[in-house]
A = this chain, B = another copy of it.
Amino acid sequence: MSSFAPTEQRLDVTLGKYREFPRQPAVLVRLVKHLYKQIHDEANAILRPYGLNHPEYNILMMMYGTPDNAMNPSQLSDAAGEKSANVTRLTNQLCDKGLIARTASEDDRRKVTLTLTDEGTALIESFLPGISMLLLQQTGNLTTDEQGQLEKLLKKMLEGFPA
């Protein structure tokens, strides 16, 4: 019995009770949730020895993935998929840990610039091998072709949500 079977059985019974129930969409939504939870938990576990949790890691990686290791909170919010209040909280924590620095922006006084410190960059580079292996493992059940298809379908589904 797969880990999704209990959920799917509940959806089947629901369809029996309420004939208009959109079973297929519900299955998809539930699969996304289950997957997210697994991904999140595994990431938290592997990042713990580095003194980080999954959302903090996500923030750091988004910053690392810029030419100059710098972003402002709104950009981070979009790229990391976190709400602005949470970006503030997470970046406060990363600042406290000395992994990023916060400075005022010169061209727009409303803006803040967040920059990876050398310590932050070093930490990222220290966990990248482990995280890379985890990512490969998490998707290892899919062939390269299947991964490409999945990417295409997930993007298409995501495009249906308001930006």
Residues of chain A touching chain B, judged by Cβ–Cβ distance below 8 Å, are: 2-4, 6-7, 9-14, 17-18, 20-22, 24-40, 42, 58, 61-62, 64-67, 75, 78-81, 125, 128-129, 132, 135-142, 144, 146-151, 153-161, 163
- Tell which of B2, B38, B65 touches A9, judged by Cβ atoms closer than 8 Å: B65
Q: What are 5 residue pairs bridging A and B, where the CB atoms are less than 8 Å apart in the complex?
A: A20-B129, A24-B151, A29-B138, A35-B157, A36-B36
A contact patch SS? helix
Complex CA distance for A37 and B77, rounded to whole angstroms: 12
With A12-B65, A62-B7 in contact, do A160 and B140 touch (Cβ < 8 Å)? yes
B140 touches A150 (CB 8 A): no
